[in-house]
Amino acid sequence: MHYICTGEDKGVSETPGVCQGENCSKKGQPLLPCDCTDNNHYGRQATVEEEKNNISGTES
Ligand SMILES: [Zn+2]
Ligand SMILES: [Zn+2]
C-alpha cells in the first residue's frame, strides 16, 4: 500500500499525508491510497506533460 498525489509532481509516499509539492496544484490535499503493484496507480496519476509535445526545436 502506498499513497499517491495526482497533481503535477506525481508524488508517491509510503505513509498517508498530504502533498507537499511546492509547484503542485494538489499541494495540501490528501494523498490517495493505492495498492497497485505496477507503478501505474490504476492510471490515476494522469500524465500532465502534454505541453512538452510542442517543443520540436528544428525550425528556422
Ligand atoms: Zn502533488
Ligand atoms: Zn499505486
Q: How far is the CA of 53 from the centre of ligand 2 (A)?
A: 26
pLDDT of residue 59: 62
Instruction: Provide the grid cell at 24.
Output: 503542485
- Mean pLDDT, to the nearest integer, of 3-17? 95
Of the pLDDT bands very low, low, confident and very high (cuts 50, 70, 90), residue 57 is: low
Q: How far is the CA of 22 from the centre of ligand 1 (A)?
A: 8
Q: How far is the CA of 24 from the centre of ligand 1 (A)?
A: 5
Query: Which ligand has an atom closest to residue 45 CA?
Result: 2
CA distance linking residue 32 with residue 26, whole number of Å: 11
Count other Cβ atoms within 10 Å, centred on residue 45: 20
Domains of the chain by residue range: 1-45
pLDDT tens-place string over residues 21-50 = 999 999 999 999 999 999 999 999 876 555
